Amino acid sequence: MSDPAVPVAASQAPIKSGSASGSRYAAFVLGVMVVVYAFNFMDRYVFIIMMEAIKQDLHLSDTQLGIITGFAFSVVYSCAGLAVAHWADRGNRRSIIATALAAWSGLTMLCAYAGSFLQLMAARMSVGLAESACSPPALALLADYFRPAQRGRAFGIYSTGLSLGLGMGFVIGGWVGEHYGWRAAFLAGGIPGLLFAVFVRLTVREPERGHTDARMVDSQPYTGRQAAVYMLGRPSFVAWMVGSAIYCFVGTTIDSWAPLFLIRVHGLPTAEVGLQTGVLGATAGILGSIASGWFADRLSPRDLRRNLWVSTFGIVLVAPLTLLFLFANVRAVWPLYALGQFFNCFYMAPTLAVTHALLPVRLRALASAVLLLGYNVIGTAGCSLVIGYLSDRWAPALHTDSVRYAMAATQFAAVAGIACTLYAIARIRRDFPEHLAR
């Protein structure tokens, strides 16, 4: 009996695995996508390092900061990402990425002119709309440049863009913000991306879809209904998506709120916090992303489920390290921050690798967008909203320590994420028997 989620017209000829896989040009494209992904995150970390200054200047509450940095940005980013992914599974992914990079860089600069909570929220939502066109097409494009056995490392290297963006945003934003104000920091964060967008458009080539897969590829794209039926009909996919999103929720605490915590609770200067978190966070994050991709590629050939074990191993360490970071003295916070950021990068690359290995080629961009929807709505938006709300609620009793305990409370969500992932590991063979017959 045929699967109702599969398009009726499908190619019966296997796609050849061409020479693009593992070539120098494939490595070049991967490097370009890392830089694009770094710009995709740079403006977010400029905002994060400037949160205390923005709060004082615009007279905002922690809840409003949580809404801007999480809910307002991430919900728009994620929901728009689904539409962009549907487009990317049909259109020219290179052109989508280049156009989006130019758009979000210009809109980042527009944030410098916000004069109120509503204006800044609207500006950040517009940035989120443009940035939604980055990862779904980029991941699908990279999957057509690297063979399945290489994708864990490729996605791990791609994920280093997040840490590179963290370093750029914290260091540049922290220095420019302290010397010239938070508005100048946003202007500095937008200019490089405008120039790099032209480079992307002129140098990156659109590959043949399914170029590196030795399996049949559907000749017709999936409709929205067919895609939904396919994904929802596989509970293991839903479970590892939700579990990974909760891992993001737990990790967002140290990733996004550590600078404000260090400035407010420990009284450290903005430029120092920006430099330390930027250098340590970027270095640890890059190493963690590469390590997780390497482990995924080494362990998964015998059993693709081992990708999910790698991501779970990371979060088992992130939660206790974050709690230690929050309650340590100022001399111990930096090594704990670095270790937390290292293991915080373990969930993304292996989860993307197993998703691209198991789901159909014509659903790659959309599947990536669904994962990012969880990361941003449950992870970034949910965590920031919870921390902001609890910090304001507990401030009358705990004063500046309220943010410490609000951040600590989020770490107990790791238990739910682990439970979802373990269910996915147990169920995955039933949902994907063609790939996991053993």
Residue extents of the structural domains in the chain: 24-205+223-431
3-state SS, the chain, equals CCCCCCCCCCCCCECCCCCCCCCHHHHHHHHHHHHHHHHHHHHHHHHHHCHHHHHHHHCCCHHHHHHHHHHHHHHHHHHHHHHHHHHHCCCCHHHHHHHHHHHHHHHHHHHHHCCCHHHHHHHHHHHHHHHCCCHHHHHHHHHCCCCHHHHHHHHHHHHHHHHHHHHHHHHHHHHHHHHHCHHHHHHHHHHHHHHHHHHHHHHCCCCCCCCCCCCECCCCCCCHHHHHHHHHCCHHHHHHHHHHHHHHHHHHHHHHHHHHHHHHCCCCCHHHHHHHHHHHHHHHHHHHHHHHHHHHHHHCCCCCCHHHHHHHHHHHHHHHHHHHHHHCCCCCHHHHHHHHHHHHCCCHHHHHHHHHHHCCHHHHHHHHHHHHHHHHHHHHHHHHHHHHHHHHHHHHHHHHHHHHHHHHHHHHHHHHHHHHHHHHHHHHHHHCCCCCCC
What are the residue ranges in the chain where pLDDT is below 50? 1-22, 216, 437-438
The domain defined by 24-205+223-431 carries CATH number 1.20.1250.20: yes
Q: What is the pLDDT of residue 9?
A: 37
For 307-354, what is each residue's pLDDT tens digit?
A: 899 889 999 999 999 999 999 998 899 999 999 999 998 988 888 888
Q: What is the pLDDT of residue 114?
A: 93
Q: Global pTM?
A: 0.74
